[in-house]
Amino acid sequence: MKELERQADVIEAAAAVKNRLKVADLKEGYRVFGNKGNVWSDTAHIYDSSDGNLCGTPALSNNWAMIEKVEYIGCPGCLSKYNDKIGN
């Protein structure tokens, strides 16, 4: 049973990696944004300089994602809206 749980964890981790975007790959006008919780949970947002976070989460904290040099964006809502906006 433990082996099945381990395999499920591996599959879940692999799926999570596919649902991320490298900050360096963001198009012009977009940047990473996140509070400390986003840094710790790997759920940084995509910030549009004209609209704020794409998922609608208010950007009310210090940008800890930039301070900590987060390399990947993991907010599902932001990723979905970003892909819609840039045509992916």
Q: Is the pLDDT confidence value at 1 over 80?
A: no
pLDDT tens figures, 15-45: 554 588 999 999 999 999 999 999 999 999 9
In this prediction the pTM is 0.76
pLDDT at residue 7 in the model: 66
Structure tokens at 78: 């932001």
Query: What one-letter code names the amino acid at 14?
Result: A
| Structure confidence at residue 41 (pLDDT) | 93
CA distance 81 to 84: 5
31-53 burial string, b = 16+ CB within 10 Å, else e?
Answer: bbbbbeebbeeebbbbbbeeeeb
